[in-house]
A and B are shown apart, each in its own frame.
Chain A
Amino acid sequence: MSVALFLAVAAVLLVASFSVVTGKDLVRSVLWLAVALAGTAVLFVLLQAEFIAAVQILLYTGGIITLMLFGIMLTARITGVRIVVGSAGRIRGALVAIGVFAVTAWAVLASPAAYVAREGPDPESTTRLIGASFLTEYLLAMEVLSLLLLAVMIGAIVLARRRDPS
């Protein structure tokens, strides 16, 4: 059951990701990215990480996709035509990508860790444990992260603000 679901999600993920990087229509690429990100959330549920799955849907599929659409609308002349994006150097790109996959897959298959690791018993809800570790073990990291988010917010406003005509 789990294996069949995994294979189905994997197929959807690969097709969606491929459509994102090869599609001609930029808006459709973004919508395919939404499919890929939602599929990843299903993978997280399969891995018993339901909190991560929820965050994935909220932040990625909700936030990023909206942001990307705004980005496209702001940077293309909206004239009713499709926003066409081209690709270049396809053969070289494909060669590098296949090389990356080959090296990574070789490393994965050669690594003993992949065979030693076994799934433990199903954990109870990890949400409580994640919350506790954020406020104890990873407190400093979380505070630094919130500072970073503040800096990013200010930085984005400063960068994208319309300058005075003077």
Chain B
Amino acid sequence: MNPPLTWYLLLAAALFAVGTYGLLTRRNAVAILLSIEIMANAVNVNLVAFSRFLNDLAGQVFTLFAISLTVAEVVVGLAIVVLLYRDRDDVRADLADRMRG
């Protein structure tokens, strides 16, 4: 017997909620990026589960796009964090509240 679709969806929802908690409570910008990773990962679980249970390959293709986009997001995010550190000597996200230097 295989686990039903509902189990996968509930697991993904729980992981997404854990990621939300980290996103809201973390102060360090890198830690916030880690939380976003967990949330994106939960969404990928949903996509692949639906792809399997609905017999539609589009879910897997979408997951590949989502993975690539997440990697791109992390690259730009980390570049901004490095820039922030060079400018302020601190990567606490609360301190980055000015749009002008």
Contacts and interface: CB of A to CB of B under 8 A. Distances in A.
A-side binding surface: helix, strand, loop or mixed? helix
A130 B57 contact: yes
B6 A108 contact: yes
Contacts of B52: 47-49, 119
Given A60-B70, A159-B83, 18 more contacts: A14-B18, A20-B34, A21-B34, A33-B34, A36-B38, A40-B44, A52-B67, A59-B68, A60-B71, A63-B71, A68-B78, A76-B91, A87-B27, A94-B21, A130-B57, A130-B61, A153-B75, A160-B79
Contacts of B74: 64, 67-68
Contacts of B24: 89, 92-93, 96-97
Interface in B34-92: 34-35, 37-38, 41, 44-45, 48-55, 57-58, 60-61, 63-65, 67-72, 74-76, 78-86, 91
Interface residues of A, number: 83
Place the interface of chain B in its size category.
Answer: 35 or more
Interface of B: 1-11, 13-22, 24-31, 33-35, 37-38, 41, 44-45, 48-55, 57-58, 60-61, 63-65, 67-72, 74-76, 78-86, 91
A61 to B, nearest CB: 11
